[in-house]
Amino acid sequence: MLPLLLLIALAGIQLGLVAYCGEQAGTAARAAARTASLPDPHGDATLAGQDAVSSWVDARIGWPKGPEGDGHSVTATATVQIPSVLPGLSFFGPVERSATMPLEDNTS
């Protein structure tokens, strides 16, 4: 009975990691898109996305239309690898989230 309970516990932990990584990817994408949407000079948007997540999560930020966007909005995509509870076994691929922010107006 104990091996079955351990398997259920590990599955629960793994599903929790999947949800957590999804949330972290969304946070990274929103932070990167928001920073890129600010008028110049703004900080490094890719670095802002990576700094917005936990230090043990490796968020990779991508720009489908470049960091400057399409002229009206900017979209950032964050990809986070889901770690496995059991070393050597990977049941889930990376999780990816995107966020789009309108460009801020430079005129005051």
pLDDT tens, position by position, for the chain (108 residues)? 998 999 899 989 999 999 999 999 999 999 999 998 888 777 888 999 999 999 888 889 998 876 666 678 899 999 999 998 887 777 888 999 999 999 887 655
Q: Torsion-angle region of residue 88: left (phi > 0), alpha (psi -120 to 50) or beta? A: left
**32 and 99 Cβ atoms separated by less than 8 Å:** yes
Helix (H, G, I), strand (E, B) or coil at 89: coil
Its pTM stands at 0.84
